[in-house]
Amino acid sequence: MKPDQQETIDPSPQVLVVGAGPTGLLLAVELVRRDVSCLLIDTLDAPRGWDRATVLHERSLQIFEALGLAELFLEEGVRTRVARFRSDGAVLAEGSLDLASSRYGFQIGISEEVTESVLTDYLHARGGAVTRSTRLVGLTPGEDAVSATLECAGERREIVTGWVVGCDGYHSAVREAAGIEFPGTDIQVPWAVFDATLEGWMDDYDVASVHLDRPPVILTPLPGQRWRVYLRPTSETSDLIVEASEVLERYAPGVRFTGVENPTRFRCHSRVAERYRSGRVLLAGDAAHACTPAEGHGMNTGLQDAFNLGWKLAMVCRGASGPDLLETYEAERQPVAERIVSSGAAAERAHALTSVAERASRDAEIRRTFANPESARHEAAAASELDRSYPHSRAIGGDDGPGLAPGHLLPDTRLVEPAVGEASALHELTHNPGFTLLVLGGPEADPGQVGHTVAHLAEHCPVVSAVHGLSARPGGESVGRIDGSTATQLGATGVTAFAVRPDRYVGFRDNRGRPDAVKEYLDALVA
């Protein structure tokens, strides 16, 4: 091990994170910004110069907004506003991404290595680092700590850590060492990918183009009017460029690929880890789930894993909560993984159809889905990943509604005359490392009662980062204003209190003006 690498390895970090892809980087960021010591290691000597994941969904943009990074991605990437579905030479439907009630009515086309670079810079700016050329070769879990053996440059070193999180991909050394099963199936038909310019392309550059032909070809936009091209090659030795060109020729005669880079074949899998936690060892990202790239959910789901786990693990490490809080990580995130794996498997089957009758039935179903406004909105929410919810989690409680129920994501809602900072939207008030309490006064609520509730909660809830009071009616000291339509959307008529978790999900809702009930929820959560 080189001397400079020895110096970077903390022999007793609170958390060891294995794998410095997007999931591991975001988890390290979430821990470091909460003052939790974290050792992030990766086997690679340097960051990858290219990686095949492309799309950042709207939920990922919300996560990056909370970190103050969204604008960087908006500047670096290309905004993709529509998915256009084609088959047998015809356009079947267009799926708008601006239907999911988000300020981001689009996805961002950006290569994965750029996402990693932004997160790495953020981590470095806050005193964190990636320790490279280092791999995990052994784990010995204990009741109060984990002993880990690391290897670098042929030398081995032992460290003792409170927790280990495997973010080390499909072939996870952490998962194997913890003895966690990874059931599922391997997708038999390989995928392939390359980057290129389309010479003679006369169509839009902000539209993902899905060609359900034989072979299927998916074009995803990249900056500079480039494309990342995914396809299902017909054989292990077929010419990828020729096969993709033959499909596009049916829709855009004369178009051709130029400036081709990074042609790669790869295998995919449909698997979800049997457990996300074994004692003091946890899994996240591709170490916990593997799915087809057909819907672009793999990396984005890993980012959400990290954002969900980060604040919980930090609370445990800082003694603000007991380890049982970590049980809610698996309970919330494993069903999401099972959902994307199932959805991806269905997409795989749809791509593989060869019968004329089956393909016609599939195409008719796509037309019906996007012609119906309700189902089109459902598809947009699923594609953006804004429809994930945790209504049955142990980290959720309180009154169901009307409007926004516990376990659901706080939507983008605008403020009127905000009393706090420069926030223009309600969710911007929740960009905190801890819980945020929102006390909302609906049309029937006395603003003075809102202010009284805020004062009580601010005094008696020390684990909370901020308490904000807002009313749909004017009046009341230190009470901001919400739009009446916002109160209606959230179901706030009288005084309604929301305990919003650090990941922007509503943890608790109180409809009856009971500040003690909110405190009891928080006390139980951190017990």
Could you identify the residue written with the tokens 């960009």? 431
208 shares its domain with 171:
no
Question: Which pLDDT score, from 0 to 100, does residue 418 have?
Answer: 56
Question: Which pLDDT score, from 0 to 100, does residue 525 have?
Answer: 87
421 shares its domain with 286:
no
3-class secondary structure, 55: strand
Residue 417 pLDDT class (50, 70, 90 cuts) = low
> Pick from 49, 40, 42: which is nearest to 152 by CA?
42
Question: Which pLDDT score, from 0 to 100, does residue 3 have?
Answer: 35
Question: Tens digit of pLDDT for each residue in 189-198?
Answer: 899 999 999 9
Residue 419 pLDDT class (50, 70, 90 cuts) = low
38 shares its domain with 171:
yes
- Domain assignment present for residue 174? The answer is yes
Q: Which whole number is the average pLDDT over 327-334?
A: 98
277 shares its domain with 265:
no
149 shares its domain with 13:
yes
Q: Which whole number is the average pLDDT over 335-357?
A: 94
Question: Tens digit of pLDDT for each residue in 222-238?
Answer: 999 999 999 999 998 99
Number of domains making up the chain: 3
Around Cβ 493, how many Cβ atoms within 10 Å?
18
Residue 463 pLDDT class (50, 70, 90 cuts) = confident
Residue 69 pLDDT class (50, 70, 90 cuts) = very high
Tokens in use for 62?
């919300």
Question: Tens digit of pLDDT for each residue in 205-215?
Answer: 999 999 999 99
List all residues 6 or more positions away from 520 whose beta carbon is below 8 Å from its beta carbon.
none
325 shares its domain with 448:
no
Spatial separation of the C-alpha atoms in residues 428 and 424, rounded to whole Å:
7
240 shares its domain with 303:
no
Q: Would you say 3 and 155 are in contact if contact means Cβ atoms under 8 Å apart? A: no
- Domain assignment present for residue 125? The answer is yes
- Domain assignment present for residue 66? The answer is no
Tokens in use for 151?
């290897």
Identify the weakest region by mean pLDDT among 9-13, 173-177, 480-484: 480-484
Q: Which whole number is the average pLDDT over 324-349?
A: 96
Residue 477 pLDDT class (50, 70, 90 cuts) = low
Question: Using the 8-state DSSP alphabet, how is residue 405 labeled?
Answer: P
H or E element: which one contains 471? Answer: strand 464-471
- Domain assignment present for residue 88? The answer is no
Residue 8 pLDDT class (50, 70, 90 cuts) = low
Identify the weakest region by mean pLDDT among 45-59, 298-312, 413-427, 482-496: 413-427
> CA torsion, points 30, 35, 36, 37, in degrees to nearest 10?
110
Tell me what the pLDDT averaged over the chain comes to. Answer: 93
Give residue 71's Cα distance to chain centre. Answer: 17
176 shares its domain with 288:
yes
Question: Which pLDDT score, from 0 to 100, does residue 142 have?
Answer: 92
Range of the domain at 415: 397-525
Look at residues 269, 297, 321 and tell me which one is the last residue of a structural domain: 269
121 shares its domain with 190:
no
Q: What is the CATH number of the domain that holds 210?
A: 3.30.9.10
Q: What is the CATH number of the domain that holds 456?
A: 3.40.30.120
148 shares its domain with 295:
yes
Residue 425 pLDDT class (50, 70, 90 cuts) = confident
- Domain assignment present for residue 105? The answer is no
Look at residues 269, 291, 318 and tell me which one is the last residue of a structural domain: 269
Question: Which pLDDT score, from 0 to 100, does residue 481 have?
Answer: 85
Look at residues 246, 269, 292 and tell me which one is the last residue of a structural domain: 269
> Pick from 130, 93, 80, 182: which is nearest to 372 by CA?
93
At residue 5, does pLDDT exceed 80? Answer: no
Q: Which whole number is the average pLDDT over 120-137?
A: 97
- Domain assignment present for residue 87? The answer is no
pTM, two decimals, is 0.96
192 shares its domain with 176:
no
Residue with the bigger pLDDT between 525 and 5: it is 525
Question: Which pLDDT score, from 0 to 100, does residue 413 have?
Answer: 84
- Domain assignment present for residue 157? The answer is yes
300 shares its domain with 315:
yes
At residue 478, does pLDDT exceed 90? Answer: no
Question: Tens digit of pLDDT for each residue in 488-502?
Answer: 999 998 999 999 999
- Domain assignment present for residue 427? The answer is yes
Question: Which pLDDT score, from 0 to 100, does residue 422 have?
Answer: 66
Q: Which whole number is the average pLDDT over 436-443?
A: 93
pLDDT > 90 fraction of the chain, expressed in percent and rounded = 82
Question: Which pLDDT score, from 0 to 100, does residue 7 have?
Answer: 47
Question: Tens digit of pLDDT for each residue in 253-271?
Answer: 999 999 999 999 999 999 9
Question: Which pLDDT score, from 0 to 100, does residue 232 have?
Answer: 93
